[in-house]
Structure 1
Amino acid sequence: MKYTLITLFCLMTLSAFAQLKPIESGVFKWDDFKVIPNNDRVSRPILEGVSTHLDYLEMHATTQNVGAKPSTAHANEDIEEIIIVKEGTMKVTIDGESSILGANGVVSLMPLQMHSLENVGTTPLTYYIIRYRSKKKMDVSRGVASGNSLMVNADSLPYRSTSVGGVRSYFDRETAMCERLEMHVTTLDRKVASHEPHAHDETEIILMISGETAQMIDGQEYTAKAGDFYFMESQSVHGIRNINDEPTTYFAFKWK
Protein backbone atom coordinates (compact mmCIF):
# COMPACT_ATOMS: atom_id res chain seq x y z
CA MET A 1 0.00 0.00 0.00
CA LYS A 2 1.36 3.40 -0.98
CA TYR A 3 1.08 6.51 1.22
CA THR A 4 1.67 10.13 0.33
CA LEU A 5 4.04 12.14 2.51
CA ILE A 6 1.09 14.10 3.93
CA THR A 7 -0.72 10.88 4.84
CA LEU A 8 2.37 9.48 6.53
CA PHE A 9 2.82 12.72 8.49
CA CYS A 10 -0.81 12.63 9.64
CA LEU A 11 -0.48 9.00 10.72
CA MET A 12 2.70 9.80 12.63
CA THR A 13 1.02 12.78 14.32
CA LEU A 14 -2.03 10.73 15.33
CA SER A 15 0.23 7.99 16.63
CA ALA A 16 2.22 10.51 18.70
CA PHE A 17 -0.95 11.87 20.31
CA ALA A 18 -2.22 8.33 20.95
CA GLN A 19 0.94 7.58 22.89
CA LEU A 20 0.68 10.57 25.22
CA LYS A 21 0.42 9.48 28.83
CA PRO A 22 -1.63 10.99 31.68
CA ILE A 23 0.29 13.61 33.64
CA GLU A 24 0.71 12.46 37.21
CA SER A 25 0.13 14.68 40.22
CA GLY A 26 3.34 15.84 41.89
CA VAL A 27 6.04 18.52 41.68
CA PHE A 28 8.06 19.72 38.69
CA LYS A 29 11.41 21.38 39.47
CA TRP A 30 12.84 24.31 37.47
CA ASP A 31 16.38 23.02 37.98
CA ASP A 32 15.44 19.68 36.37
CA PHE A 33 14.17 21.14 33.09
CA LYS A 34 16.44 20.48 30.11
CA VAL A 35 18.00 23.69 28.68
CA ILE A 36 18.04 23.88 24.86
CA PRO A 37 19.89 26.92 23.37
CA ASN A 38 18.64 28.15 20.00
CA ASN A 39 20.37 31.29 18.64
CA ASP A 40 18.89 34.26 20.54
CA ARG A 41 16.76 32.24 22.95
CA VAL A 42 16.67 29.21 25.22
CA SER A 43 13.83 26.73 25.60
CA ARG A 44 12.98 24.38 28.46
CA PRO A 45 10.53 21.52 27.73
CA ILE A 46 8.55 20.77 30.89
CA LEU A 47 5.67 18.36 30.31
CA GLU A 48 3.44 16.88 27.63
CA GLY A 49 0.51 14.52 28.07
CA VAL A 50 -3.19 14.27 28.80
CA SER A 51 -5.33 14.99 31.86
CA THR A 52 -8.89 14.46 33.05
CA HIS A 53 -10.36 17.30 31.01
CA LEU A 54 -7.74 17.71 28.28
CA ASP A 55 -6.70 15.41 25.43
CA TYR A 56 -3.53 17.48 25.01
CA LEU A 57 -1.53 19.47 27.58
CA GLU A 58 1.98 20.79 26.97
CA MET A 59 4.09 23.22 28.98
CA HIS A 60 7.47 24.78 28.27
CA ALA A 61 9.49 27.84 29.21
CA THR A 62 11.32 30.19 26.86
CA THR A 63 14.00 32.79 27.55
CA GLN A 64 14.48 35.47 24.89
CA ASN A 65 17.82 37.27 25.13
CA VAL A 66 17.99 41.06 24.98
CA GLY A 67 17.40 42.11 21.37
CA ALA A 68 16.01 38.72 20.34
CA LYS A 69 13.70 38.58 17.35
CA PRO A 70 10.00 38.40 18.24
CA SER A 71 8.45 34.97 18.07
CA THR A 72 6.98 34.27 14.64
CA ALA A 73 3.38 35.49 14.50
CA HIS A 74 0.99 32.56 14.23
CA ALA A 75 -2.50 31.38 15.22
CA ASN A 76 -3.42 28.09 16.88
CA GLU A 77 -6.18 26.23 15.07
CA ASP A 78 -7.43 24.17 18.01
CA ILE A 79 -5.10 25.01 20.90
CA GLU A 80 -5.65 27.48 23.73
CA GLU A 81 -2.74 28.97 25.71
CA ILE A 82 -1.84 30.54 29.03
CA ILE A 83 1.35 32.62 28.97
CA ILE A 84 2.97 33.71 32.24
CA VAL A 85 5.90 36.14 32.47
CA LYS A 86 8.46 34.80 34.92
CA GLU A 87 10.87 37.74 34.59
CA GLY A 88 11.61 40.56 32.17
CA THR A 89 9.41 42.75 29.97
CA MET A 90 7.26 41.28 27.21
CA LYS A 91 5.42 42.90 24.33
CA VAL A 92 2.41 40.78 23.43
CA THR A 93 0.62 41.38 20.13
CA ILE A 94 -2.71 39.66 19.48
CA ASP A 95 -4.54 40.36 16.21
CA GLY A 96 -2.70 43.67 15.90
CA GLU A 97 -3.31 44.87 19.47
CA SER A 98 -0.23 45.11 21.72
CA SER A 99 0.34 45.31 25.47
CA ILE A 100 3.46 45.44 27.62
CA LEU A 101 3.58 42.90 30.45
CA GLY A 102 6.04 42.74 33.32
CA ALA A 103 6.85 39.97 35.78
CA ASN A 104 3.73 37.92 36.70
CA GLY A 105 1.85 39.30 33.72
CA VAL A 106 -0.54 36.76 32.21
CA VAL A 107 -2.07 36.14 28.78
CA SER A 108 -5.16 33.98 28.33
CA LEU A 109 -5.02 33.33 24.58
CA MET A 110 -7.97 32.02 22.58
CA PRO A 111 -7.52 29.81 19.51
CA LEU A 112 -7.52 31.28 15.97
CA GLN A 113 -5.82 34.56 16.94
CA MET A 114 -2.56 35.75 15.43
CA HIS A 115 -0.04 36.48 18.15
CA SER A 116 3.65 37.11 18.78
CA LEU A 117 5.87 37.70 21.82
CA GLU A 118 8.87 40.03 22.02
CA ASN A 119 11.49 40.97 24.61
CA VAL A 120 11.37 44.77 24.84
CA GLY A 121 13.31 45.06 28.10
CA THR A 122 16.95 45.51 29.05
CA THR A 123 17.22 42.04 30.65
CA PRO A 124 16.40 38.53 29.41
CA LEU A 125 12.70 37.72 29.15
CA THR A 126 11.58 34.37 30.55
CA TYR A 127 8.01 33.09 30.29
CA TYR A 128 5.99 29.90 30.63
CA ILE A 129 3.60 28.72 27.91
CA ILE A 130 0.85 26.22 28.73
CA ARG A 131 -0.88 24.84 25.59
CA TYR A 132 -3.99 22.69 25.84
CA ARG A 133 -6.98 21.25 24.00
CA SER A 134 -10.21 20.12 25.66
CA LYS A 135 -11.70 16.65 25.36
CA LYS A 136 -15.00 18.44 24.72
CA LYS A 137 -15.75 20.36 21.54
CA MET A 138 -14.08 23.77 21.27
CA ASP A 139 -16.52 26.68 21.68
CA VAL A 140 -14.90 29.84 20.34
CA SER A 141 -18.08 31.90 20.73
CA ARG A 142 -18.15 31.06 24.44
CA GLY A 143 -14.60 32.37 24.84
CA VAL A 144 -15.35 35.54 22.88
CA ALA A 145 -18.47 36.22 24.98
CA SER A 146 -16.37 35.84 28.14
CA GLY A 147 -13.87 38.49 27.10
CA ASN A 148 -11.87 36.87 24.29
CA SER A 149 -8.09 36.85 24.79
CA LEU A 150 -6.89 38.72 27.89
CA MET A 151 -3.57 40.44 28.66
CA VAL A 152 -3.28 41.18 32.39
CA ASN A 153 -0.52 43.00 34.29
CA ALA A 154 -0.10 42.07 37.94
CA ASP A 155 0.11 45.69 39.09
CA SER A 156 -3.29 46.43 37.54
CA LEU A 157 -5.00 44.07 39.99
CA PRO A 158 -6.16 45.00 43.51
CA TYR A 159 -4.58 43.18 46.44
CA ARG A 160 -7.12 41.75 48.87
CA SER A 161 -5.85 41.00 52.38
CA THR A 162 -6.74 37.68 54.00
CA SER A 163 -6.16 36.16 57.43
CA VAL A 164 -2.98 34.44 56.14
CA GLY A 165 -1.68 37.03 53.66
CA GLY A 166 -3.44 38.22 50.52
CA VAL A 167 -4.76 37.46 47.02
CA ARG A 168 -4.72 39.06 43.55
CA SER A 169 -7.49 37.67 41.32
CA TYR A 170 -6.68 37.54 37.61
CA PHE A 171 -9.87 36.05 36.16
CA ASP A 172 -12.56 33.43 36.66
CA ARG A 173 -14.31 32.76 33.37
CA GLU A 174 -15.30 30.48 30.52
CA THR A 175 -13.02 30.08 27.51
CA ALA A 176 -13.12 28.30 24.16
CA MET A 177 -11.66 25.17 25.79
CA CYS A 178 -12.74 25.45 29.43
CA GLU A 179 -16.08 25.53 31.16
CA ARG A 180 -14.16 27.30 33.92
CA LEU A 181 -10.65 28.78 33.98
CA GLU A 182 -9.74 30.53 37.24
CA MET A 183 -6.43 32.14 38.12
CA HIS A 184 -5.08 34.10 41.09
CA VAL A 185 -1.89 34.81 43.03
CA THR A 186 -1.74 34.00 46.73
CA THR A 187 0.68 35.38 49.32
CA LEU A 188 1.20 33.58 52.64
CA ASP A 189 2.90 36.10 54.91
CA ARG A 190 4.26 33.64 57.51
CA LYS A 191 4.68 29.94 58.27
CA VAL A 192 1.04 28.99 57.80
CA ALA A 193 -1.22 26.78 55.69
CA SER A 194 -3.33 28.40 52.99
CA HIS A 195 -6.34 26.21 53.81
CA GLU A 196 -7.31 22.73 54.91
CA PRO A 197 -6.59 19.89 52.46
CA HIS A 198 -9.41 19.62 49.92
CA ALA A 199 -10.31 18.21 46.50
CA HIS A 200 -12.28 19.55 43.53
CA ASP A 201 -13.28 18.58 40.00
CA GLU A 202 -10.88 21.07 38.42
CA THR A 203 -7.27 20.15 37.64
CA GLU A 204 -4.90 22.69 39.27
CA ILE A 205 -1.37 24.01 38.91
CA ILE A 206 0.39 25.99 41.62
CA LEU A 207 3.41 27.83 40.20
CA MET A 208 5.88 29.24 42.71
CA ILE A 209 6.91 32.92 42.43
CA SER A 210 8.92 33.35 45.65
CA GLY A 211 9.62 31.62 48.94
CA GLU A 212 9.29 27.93 49.71
CA THR A 213 6.24 25.76 50.26
CA ALA A 214 5.25 22.20 51.03
CA GLN A 215 2.24 20.61 49.35
CA MET A 216 0.48 17.44 50.45
CA ILE A 217 -1.00 15.62 47.43
CA ASP A 218 -2.95 12.41 48.05
CA GLY A 219 -0.97 11.69 51.21
CA GLN A 220 2.50 12.45 49.82
CA GLU A 221 4.37 15.66 50.66
CA TYR A 222 6.38 17.64 48.10
CA THR A 223 8.34 20.90 48.38
CA ALA A 224 8.88 23.68 45.86
CA LYS A 225 10.63 27.04 45.46
CA ALA A 226 10.56 29.82 42.86
CA GLY A 227 10.17 28.45 39.33
CA ASP A 228 8.88 25.05 40.50
CA PHE A 229 5.24 24.03 40.31
CA TYR A 230 2.81 21.47 41.65
CA PHE A 231 0.35 19.61 39.42
CA MET A 232 -2.85 18.28 40.99
CA GLU A 233 -5.17 16.13 38.90
CA SER A 234 -8.93 16.34 39.27
CA GLN A 235 -10.14 15.09 42.69
CA SER A 236 -6.60 14.91 44.16
CA VAL A 237 -6.64 15.81 47.86
CA HIS A 238 -4.14 18.64 48.34
CA GLY A 239 -3.13 21.42 50.72
CA ILE A 240 -0.25 23.91 50.61
CA ARG A 241 1.65 25.67 53.38
CA ASN A 242 4.51 28.13 53.78
CA ILE A 243 7.45 26.32 55.40
CA ASN A 244 9.48 29.45 56.29
CA ASP A 245 8.90 32.58 58.35
CA GLU A 246 9.40 34.76 55.24
CA PRO A 247 6.45 35.40 52.87
CA THR A 248 5.84 33.10 49.93
CA THR A 249 3.87 33.92 46.76
CA TYR A 250 2.50 31.63 44.06
CA PHE A 251 0.11 31.42 41.13
CA ALA A 252 -2.84 29.07 41.47
CA PHE A 253 -4.88 28.27 38.40
CA LYS A 254 -7.41 25.54 37.71
CA TRP A 255 -9.65 24.44 34.91
CA LYS A 256 -12.36 22.03 33.83
Structure 2
Amino acid sequence: MKPISTVVLFLFTVVIFSQTKKVKEGIYRWADHPVKFSENRESRIILAGTSPHFEYLGIHASTQLKGAKPSTLHANEDIEELIIIKEGEAKVTFDDQSKILKAGGVILLLPQQLHSLENVGDGNLTYYVMRYRSKKPMQIERGLSNGGSLRLNPDDLVFKPSERGGGRPYFDRPSAMCERIEMHTTQLNKKGPSHAPHKHIETEIILMLSGQTEMTIDDKEYSGGAGDFYFINSGSTHGVRNPTGEPCSYFAFKWY
Protein backbone atom coordinates (compact mmCIF):
# COMPACT_ATOMS: atom_id res chain seq x y z
CA MET A 1 0.00 0.00 0.00
CA LYS A 2 1.20 3.48 -0.81
CA PRO A 3 0.10 6.78 0.76
CA ILE A 4 -1.51 8.98 -1.91
CA SER A 5 -4.16 11.48 -0.78
CA THR A 6 -6.95 12.58 -3.17
CA VAL A 7 -9.86 14.43 -1.53
CA VAL A 8 -12.75 16.13 -3.31
CA LEU A 9 -12.69 19.86 -2.48
CA PHE A 10 -16.09 20.05 -0.82
CA LEU A 11 -15.26 17.08 1.43
CA PHE A 12 -11.99 18.73 2.45
CA THR A 13 -13.95 21.87 3.37
CA VAL A 14 -16.34 19.79 5.49
CA VAL A 15 -13.43 18.17 7.36
CA ILE A 16 -11.95 21.57 8.24
CA PHE A 17 -15.31 23.04 9.27
CA SER A 18 -16.28 20.10 11.44
CA GLN A 19 -13.16 19.66 13.59
CA THR A 20 -14.99 20.72 16.77
CA LYS A 21 -18.63 20.04 15.89
CA LYS A 22 -20.16 17.02 17.62
CA VAL A 23 -22.29 14.68 15.53
CA LYS A 24 -25.87 14.86 16.79
CA GLU A 25 -27.61 11.75 18.02
CA GLY A 26 -30.90 10.87 16.31
CA ILE A 27 -32.13 10.22 12.78
CA TYR A 28 -30.65 11.35 9.47
CA ARG A 29 -33.14 11.15 6.59
CA TRP A 30 -32.07 10.48 3.01
CA ALA A 31 -34.52 13.06 1.64
CA ASP A 32 -33.23 15.88 3.87
CA HIS A 33 -29.77 16.18 2.31
CA PRO A 34 -29.36 18.40 -0.78
CA VAL A 35 -27.65 17.01 -3.85
CA LYS A 36 -24.48 18.49 -5.33
CA PHE A 37 -24.15 17.85 -9.07
CA SER A 38 -21.01 17.51 -11.16
CA GLU A 39 -20.23 15.81 -14.45
CA ASN A 40 -21.87 12.34 -14.34
CA ARG A 41 -21.87 12.42 -10.52
CA GLU A 42 -24.01 13.41 -7.57
CA SER A 43 -23.04 13.83 -3.91
CA ARG A 44 -24.91 14.28 -0.63
CA ILE A 45 -23.18 15.40 2.58
CA ILE A 46 -25.01 13.67 5.44
CA LEU A 47 -22.98 14.52 8.52
CA ALA A 48 -19.54 15.60 9.70
CA GLY A 49 -18.03 16.23 13.10
CA THR A 50 -16.54 14.52 16.11
CA SER A 51 -17.88 11.51 18.02
CA PRO A 52 -16.93 9.76 21.29
CA HIS A 53 -14.15 7.71 19.64
CA PHE A 54 -13.35 9.72 16.50
CA GLU A 55 -11.71 13.13 16.21
CA TYR A 56 -13.28 13.23 12.74
CA LEU A 57 -16.31 11.37 11.39
CA GLY A 58 -17.93 12.19 8.06
CA ILE A 59 -20.62 10.43 6.05
CA HIS A 60 -21.65 11.26 2.52
CA ALA A 61 -23.37 9.48 -0.35
CA SER A 62 -22.01 9.45 -3.91
CA THR A 63 -23.71 8.52 -7.16
CA GLN A 64 -21.81 7.66 -10.32
CA LEU A 65 -24.24 7.99 -13.21
CA LYS A 66 -24.16 5.44 -15.99
CA GLY A 67 -21.11 6.12 -18.12
CA ALA A 68 -19.23 8.05 -15.44
CA LYS A 69 -15.47 7.76 -15.51
CA PRO A 70 -14.13 5.54 -12.72
CA SER A 71 -12.32 7.14 -9.83
CA THR A 72 -8.57 6.96 -10.24
CA LEU A 73 -6.50 4.82 -7.90
CA HIS A 74 -6.05 6.82 -4.72
CA ALA A 75 -5.55 6.39 -0.98
CA ASN A 76 -6.13 8.27 2.27
CA GLU A 77 -3.06 9.07 4.36
CA ASP A 78 -4.70 8.90 7.79
CA ILE A 79 -8.42 8.26 7.16
CA GLU A 80 -10.17 4.88 7.22
CA GLU A 81 -13.32 4.32 5.15
CA LEU A 82 -16.38 2.09 5.33
CA ILE A 83 -18.31 2.04 2.04
CA ILE A 84 -21.78 0.51 1.56
CA ILE A 85 -23.31 -0.03 -1.88
CA LYS A 86 -26.88 1.33 -1.93
CA GLU A 87 -27.77 0.53 -5.54
CA GLY A 88 -26.11 -0.55 -8.76
CA GLU A 89 -22.91 -2.49 -9.39
CA ALA A 90 -19.40 -1.34 -8.51
CA LYS A 91 -16.09 -2.67 -9.74
CA VAL A 92 -13.84 -2.28 -6.70
CA THR A 93 -10.09 -2.53 -7.26
CA PHE A 94 -7.27 -2.78 -4.74
CA ASP A 95 -4.18 -4.95 -4.27
CA ASP A 96 -4.16 -5.45 -8.07
CA GLN A 97 -7.46 -7.35 -7.87
CA SER A 98 -11.01 -6.35 -8.75
CA LYS A 99 -14.38 -7.55 -7.50
CA ILE A 100 -17.95 -6.64 -8.49
CA LEU A 101 -20.06 -5.53 -5.54
CA LYS A 102 -23.84 -5.23 -5.71
CA ALA A 103 -26.42 -3.60 -3.41
CA GLY A 104 -25.55 -4.51 0.17
CA GLY A 105 -21.87 -4.89 -0.67
CA VAL A 106 -19.41 -3.49 1.85
CA ILE A 107 -15.82 -2.23 1.60
CA LEU A 108 -13.55 -1.63 4.59
CA LEU A 109 -10.54 0.43 3.47
CA LEU A 110 -7.55 0.86 5.73
CA PRO A 111 -5.61 4.12 5.51
CA GLN A 112 -2.96 4.14 2.74
CA GLN A 113 -4.88 1.51 0.73
CA LEU A 114 -4.85 2.33 -2.99
CA HIS A 115 -8.33 1.75 -4.42
CA SER A 116 -10.80 2.75 -7.11
CA LEU A 117 -14.55 2.36 -7.76
CA GLU A 118 -16.18 2.10 -11.19
CA ASN A 119 -19.85 1.93 -12.17
CA VAL A 120 -20.17 -1.24 -14.25
CA GLY A 121 -23.96 -1.71 -14.00
CA ASP A 122 -26.78 -0.82 -16.37
CA GLY A 123 -27.92 2.12 -14.22
CA ASN A 124 -26.63 4.46 -11.55
CA LEU A 125 -24.21 3.39 -8.81
CA THR A 126 -24.92 4.91 -5.38
CA TYR A 127 -22.92 4.23 -2.24
CA TYR A 128 -22.49 5.58 1.28
CA VAL A 129 -18.99 6.53 2.44
CA MET A 130 -18.12 6.77 6.14
CA ARG A 131 -14.70 8.40 6.70
CA TYR A 132 -13.13 8.51 10.14
CA ARG A 133 -9.99 9.22 12.13
CA SER A 134 -9.56 7.84 15.65
CA LYS A 135 -8.74 9.94 18.71
CA LYS A 136 -6.14 7.27 19.48
CA PRO A 137 -3.02 6.73 17.32
CA MET A 138 -3.59 4.95 14.02
CA GLN A 139 -2.33 1.34 14.02
CA ILE A 140 -1.86 0.16 10.43
CA GLU A 141 -0.19 -3.10 11.49
CA ARG A 142 -3.16 -3.96 13.72
CA GLY A 143 -5.48 -3.52 10.75
CA LEU A 144 -3.28 -5.57 8.44
CA SER A 145 -2.85 -8.42 10.92
CA ASN A 146 -6.62 -8.66 11.35
CA GLY A 147 -7.44 -9.06 7.69
CA GLY A 148 -6.44 -5.81 6.00
CA SER A 149 -8.87 -4.07 3.68
CA LEU A 150 -11.84 -6.14 2.56
CA ARG A 151 -14.80 -6.21 0.15
CA LEU A 152 -17.88 -8.35 0.75
CA ASN A 153 -21.11 -9.10 -1.08
CA PRO A 154 -24.20 -10.29 0.83
CA ASP A 155 -23.98 -13.57 -1.11
CA ASP A 156 -20.51 -14.16 0.37
CA LEU A 157 -22.12 -14.48 3.80
CA VAL A 158 -24.43 -17.01 5.43
CA PHE A 159 -27.92 -15.81 6.38
CA LYS A 160 -28.65 -16.93 9.95
CA PRO A 161 -32.39 -17.28 10.64
CA SER A 162 -33.88 -16.26 13.96
CA GLU A 163 -37.29 -16.32 15.60
CA ARG A 164 -38.00 -12.79 14.37
CA GLY A 165 -36.29 -13.01 10.97
CA GLY A 166 -32.52 -13.34 10.78
CA GLY A 167 -29.38 -11.62 9.62
CA ARG A 168 -25.92 -11.77 8.08
CA PRO A 169 -22.69 -11.14 10.03
CA TYR A 170 -20.23 -9.14 7.89
CA PHE A 171 -17.23 -8.78 10.22
CA ASP A 172 -16.20 -8.26 13.83
CA ARG A 173 -12.54 -7.27 14.15
CA PRO A 174 -9.99 -4.58 14.97
CA SER A 175 -8.88 -2.15 12.26
CA ALA A 176 -6.28 0.59 11.90
CA MET A 177 -8.61 3.12 13.55
CA CYS A 178 -10.80 0.95 15.81
CA GLU A 179 -10.10 -1.45 18.64
CA ARG A 180 -13.30 -3.12 17.49
CA ILE A 181 -15.57 -2.52 14.49
CA GLU A 182 -18.53 -4.87 13.95
CA MET A 183 -21.11 -4.97 11.17
CA HIS A 184 -24.17 -7.09 10.36
CA THR A 185 -27.59 -6.92 8.76
CA THR A 186 -30.86 -7.72 10.53
CA GLN A 187 -34.22 -8.65 9.05
CA LEU A 188 -37.38 -8.39 11.16
CA ASN A 189 -40.44 -10.18 9.82
CA LYS A 190 -42.66 -9.64 12.85
CA LYS A 191 -44.03 -6.62 14.65
CA GLY A 192 -42.08 -5.83 17.80
CA PRO A 193 -38.56 -5.15 19.04
CA SER A 194 -35.38 -6.63 17.64
CA HIS A 195 -34.18 -6.99 21.25
CA ALA A 196 -34.62 -5.31 24.61
CA PRO A 197 -33.35 -1.71 25.01
CA HIS A 198 -29.67 -1.74 25.92
CA LYS A 199 -26.49 0.33 25.87
CA HIS A 200 -22.82 -0.35 25.18
CA ILE A 201 -19.45 1.35 24.88
CA GLU A 202 -19.59 1.35 21.07
CA THR A 203 -21.08 4.16 19.02
CA GLU A 204 -23.59 2.63 16.57
CA ILE A 205 -25.38 3.36 13.31
CA ILE A 206 -28.55 1.64 12.11
CA LEU A 207 -28.88 2.14 8.34
CA MET A 208 -32.29 1.25 6.94
CA LEU A 209 -32.38 -1.01 3.87
CA SER A 210 -36.11 -1.70 3.54
CA GLY A 211 -39.41 -1.29 5.35
CA GLN A 212 -40.07 0.86 8.40
CA THR A 213 -38.61 0.94 11.91
CA GLU A 214 -39.02 2.92 15.09
CA MET A 215 -36.12 3.71 17.41
CA THR A 216 -35.90 4.88 21.01
CA ILE A 217 -32.66 6.66 21.99
CA ASP A 218 -32.48 7.87 25.60
CA ASP A 219 -36.28 8.27 25.82
CA LYS A 220 -36.58 10.11 22.48
CA GLU A 221 -38.64 8.50 19.70
CA TYR A 222 -37.72 8.39 16.01
CA SER A 223 -38.98 6.56 12.90
CA GLY A 224 -37.29 5.86 9.60
CA GLY A 225 -37.45 4.05 6.28
CA ALA A 226 -35.13 2.94 3.48
CA GLY A 227 -32.06 5.19 3.12
CA ASP A 228 -32.44 6.78 6.56
CA PHE A 229 -30.17 6.02 9.48
CA TYR A 230 -30.05 6.38 13.24
CA PHE A 231 -26.93 7.58 15.04
CA ILE A 232 -26.52 6.33 18.63
CA ASN A 233 -23.71 7.62 20.83
CA SER A 234 -21.62 5.46 23.12
CA GLY A 235 -23.48 4.81 26.38
CA SER A 236 -26.96 5.81 25.13
CA THR A 237 -29.83 3.41 25.87
CA HIS A 238 -31.53 2.45 22.62
CA GLY A 239 -33.81 -0.10 21.01
CA VAL A 240 -35.14 -0.62 17.47
CA ARG A 241 -38.46 -2.24 16.56
CA ASN A 242 -40.68 -3.18 13.63
CA PRO A 243 -43.87 -1.10 14.05
CA THR A 244 -46.01 -2.66 11.31
CA GLY A 245 -45.38 -6.39 11.01
CA GLU A 246 -44.30 -5.93 7.38
CA PRO A 247 -40.71 -7.09 6.82
CA CYS A 248 -37.96 -4.57 7.40
CA SER A 249 -34.17 -4.82 7.22
CA TYR A 250 -31.18 -2.72 8.19
CA PHE A 251 -27.41 -2.60 8.59
CA ALA A 252 -26.10 -2.24 12.14
CA PHE A 253 -22.48 -1.23 12.62
CA LYS A 254 -20.69 -0.11 15.76
CA TRP A 255 -17.19 0.70 16.89
CA TYR A 256 -14.87 1.96 19.61
- The yes-or-no answer on 1:122 pairing with 2:122 is yes
Q: What is the CA-CA distance between 1:71 and the residue it aligns to?
A: 1.4
- The yes-or-no answer on 1:88 pairing with 2:84 is no
**Corresponding residue SS for 2:193:** coil
Compute the RMSD of aligned alpha carbons.
Answer: 1.4
Deviation readout 1:170-206 (Å, 9 max, x if unpaired)? 0000000000000000000121210011000000000
- Alignment partner, residue 168 of structure 2: 168
- The yes-or-no answer on 1:63 pairing with 2:51 is no
Amino acid corresponding to residue 78 of structure 2 in structure 1: D
User: Unaligned stretches of 5+ in structure 2?
Assistant: 1-11
User: Unaligned stretches of 5+ in structure 1?
Assistant: 1-11
**Corresponding residue SS for 1:142:** helix
- Alignment partner, residue 184 of structure 2: 184
Distance 1:220 1:185, change over 3 A: same
Partner Cα distance (1:38, 1:73) in 2: 20
- Alignment partner, residue 151 of structure 2: 151
Deviation readout 1:106-139 (Å, 9 max, x if unpaired)? 0011010111111000010100000000000000
- Alignment partner, residue 29 of structure 1: 29
Partner Cα distance (2:190, 2:137) in 1: 43
Relative to the length of structure 1, the TM-score reads 0.93
- Alignment partner, residue 9 of structure 2: none
Contact 2:175–2:181 (CA<8 Å) still a contact in 1? yes
Deviation readout 1:17-75 (Å, 9 max, x if unpaired)? 67531111100000001111111010011100000000000000011111110113211
Alignment map for 1:40-119 (pairs within 5 Å): 40-119=40-119
Which deviates the most, 63-72 or 167-176? 63-72
**% identity of equivalent residues:** 56
Relative to the length of structure 2, the TM-score reads 0.93
Amino acid corresponding to residue 181 of structure 2 in structure 1: L
Contact 2:18–2:48 (CA<8 Å) still a contact in 1? no
Distance 1:97 1:200, change over 3 A: same
**Corresponding residue SS for 1:76:** coil
**Corresponding residue SS for 2:37:** strand
Q: What is the CA-CA distance between 1:16 and the residue it aligns to?
A: 3.0
Amino acid corresponding to residue 239 of structure 1 in structure 2: G
Q: Which has the larger radius of gyration?
A: 1
Partner Cα distance (1:126, 1:194) in 2: 28
Partner Cα distance (2:121, 2:167) in 1: 27
Amino acid corresponding to residue 117 of structure 1 in structure 2: L
Partner Cα distance (1:206, 1:175) in 2: 20
Amino acid corresponding to residue 97 of structure 1 in structure 2: Q
Q: What is the CA-CA distance between 1:213 and the residue it aligns to?
A: 0.2
- Alignment partner, residue 202 of structure 2: 202
- Alignment partner, residue 214 of structure 1: 214
Partner Cα distance (1:215, 1:18) in 2: 26
Contact 1:54–1:133 (CA<8 Å) still a contact in 2? yes
Contact 1:210–1:225 (CA<8 Å) still a contact in 2? yes
| Number of equivalent positions | 244
| Off by >4 Å, runs of 4+ in structure 1 | none
Partner Cα distance (1:18, 1:236) in 2: 22
**Corresponding residue SS for 1:21:** coil
